């Protein structure tokens, strides 16, 4: 029995891709699941990292983890949403481990099983089936939304306002919530404070927008791509530094005197993370968000940390509770204070490989694949 048959989905069958558009079918939602007709899905680095087997997900697999769509059917235990609701799909979590119970689902102890196993964590089953009748690996971030239908769990569907442009909202489920949440939930950047974003990609620029929205008055964006720095200025950065030309720590000290209150690294480059910590004022805090190469080590001055009472921490998914945070970001967007649409470029499903290439070449900050 299928809930939807013969729709298009992008399947990755080998390391490195490509995404291949194939015909797929999907089972009805289980008791705690939600069938979603996908309208559009954002693309982020983690899709590429899974495609290329840097994160070893089983193949063939349907990726896609920034889905937005309309609820088509719900399982019998689902009361959170109903048919016709507009939803954004975010990361999945178990809800039972200590970090989940403490209100940090992004730090779920079972995050890998719930988001990267390619199957349901309880019995290893799949919702998607290929044109030849064999199951496809799925459940990527509890959704696998590079297809016209996706099954999510009730824990990772977020109901959103119907007056918001649904096709734009998918990226709030991962990359944008990561940058904005690091600023608002984890670092808790304050009005009148100073903040530096090392890296001005989709995550860094989302952090810049959030810092501006929350009233930080001195906001640095540091990158090596001039067009990204120009956009950073448009989105609220008060100062930009091209670190291929200028020393960002010296530039930040020149403006602030003692350094910034808060910094975030989204480059994953150890030498850049080191600069983010050096650029802090005494008692400042830095967040590491970028994914570094496996085994990467940091070279930090221990006495600078101790004597200047600096903090440094990792942050995943902006430490967000998606049901709470994503609607806030949508309200900010609709109030004109979080213009994340400026990062987005739309592609059709059959342009999905072009979208990936444009993003990897740096021409597109946030591709969104229109599906429905």
Among 54, 94, 224, 316, binds Zn ion (CB under 5 A): 94
Among 97, 117, 255, 291, binds Zn ion (CB under 5 A): 97
Of residues 126 through 185, those in contact with ligand NAD by CB under 6 A are 174-175, 178
Residue 250: partners with Cβ closer than 8 Å, 6 or more residues away: none
Instruction: Between 51 and 86, name the residue whose CB sits nearer to ligand NAD.
Output: 51
Distance CA 189, CA 207 (A): 10
* Residue 191: alpha-carbon gap to chain centroid: 25
Distance CA 37, CA 20 (A): 20
CB of 269 to ligand NAD, least distance (A): 5
Q: Which does 265 bind (CB under 5 to 8 A by kind): ligand NAD, Zn ion, none?
A: none
Whether 72 contacts 35, CB under 8 Å: yes
* Residue 68: alpha-carbon gap to chain centroid: 13
CB of 327 to ligand NAD, least distance (A): 20
> Is position 287 an interface residue for ligand NAD (rule: CB under 6 A)?
no
CB of 244 to ligand NAD, least distance (A): 7
CB of 206 to ligand NAD, least distance (A): 8
CB of 83 to ligand NAD, least distance (A): 31
Q: Which does 108 bind (CB under 5 to 8 A by kind): Zn ion, ligand NAD, none?
A: Zn ion
> Is position 236 an interface residue for ligand NAD (rule: CB under 6 A)?
no
| Residues 296, 102, 288: CA angle, nearest 5 degrees | 20
Q: What is the 3-class SS of 118-139, one letter each residue?
A: CCCCCCCCCCEEECCCCECECC
Could you tell me which of 314, 316, 258, 301 has the C-alpha nearest to residue 283? 258
Whether 87 contacts 70, CB under 8 Å: yes
Whether 281 contacts 310, CB under 8 Å: no
Q: Which does 238 bind (CB under 5 to 8 A by kind): Zn ion, ligand NAD, none?
A: none
Among 34, 36, 100, 158, binds Zn ion (CB under 5 A): 100
Q: Interface residues with ligand NAD (CB under 6 A)?
A: 44-46, 174-175, 178, 198-204, 222-225, 228, 243, 266-269, 272, 289-291, 316-317
């Amino acid at each position: 029995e299928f809930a939807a048959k013969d729709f298009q989905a992008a399947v990755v069958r080998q390391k490195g891709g490509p995404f291949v558009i194939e015909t797929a079918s999907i089972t009805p939602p289980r008791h705690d699941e939600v069938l979603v007709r996908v309208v559009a899905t954002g693309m982020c680095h983690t899709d590429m990292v899974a495609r290329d087997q840097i994160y070893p997900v089983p193949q063939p697999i349907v990726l896609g983890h920034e889905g937005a769509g309309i609820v088509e059917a719900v399982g019998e235990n689902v009361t959170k949403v109903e048919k016709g609701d507009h939803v954004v799909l975010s990361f999945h979590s178990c809800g039972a481990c200590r970090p989940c119970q403490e209100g940090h689902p992004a730090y779920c102890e079972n995050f890998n099983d719930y988001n990267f196993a390619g199957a349901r964590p309880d019995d290893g089953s799949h919702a998607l089936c290929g044109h030849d009748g064999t199951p496809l690996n799925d459940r990527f971030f509890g959704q696998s939304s590079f297809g016209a239908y996706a099954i999510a769990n009730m824990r990772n569907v977020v109901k959103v306002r119907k007056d918001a442009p649904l096709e734009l909202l998918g990226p709030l489920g991962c990359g944008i919530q990561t940058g904005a949440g690091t600023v608002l939930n984890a670092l808790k950047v304050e009005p009148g404070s100073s903040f530096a974003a090392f890296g001005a990609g989709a995550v860094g620029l989302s952090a810049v927008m959030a810092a501006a929205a929350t009233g930080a008055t001195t906001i640095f964006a540091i990158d090596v791509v001039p067009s990204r720095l120009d956009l950073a200025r448009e989105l609220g950065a008060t100062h930009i530094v091209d670190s291929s030309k200028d020393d960002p720590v010296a530039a930040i000290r020149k403006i602030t005197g003692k350094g910034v209150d808060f910094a975030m690294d989204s480059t994953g480059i150890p030498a850049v993370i080191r600069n983010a910590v050096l650029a802090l004022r005494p008692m400042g805090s830095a967040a590491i968000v970028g994914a570094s190469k496996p085994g990467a080590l940091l070279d930090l001055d221990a006495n600078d940390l101790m004597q200047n009472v600096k903090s440094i921490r990792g942050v995943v998914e902006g430490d967000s509770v998606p049901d709470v945070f994503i609607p806030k970001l949508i309200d900010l967007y609709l109030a004109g204070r979080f213009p994340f649409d400026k990062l987005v470029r739309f592609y059709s499903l059959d342009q999905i490989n072009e979208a990936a290439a444009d993003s990897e070449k740096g021409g597109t900050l946030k591709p969104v694949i229109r599906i429905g």
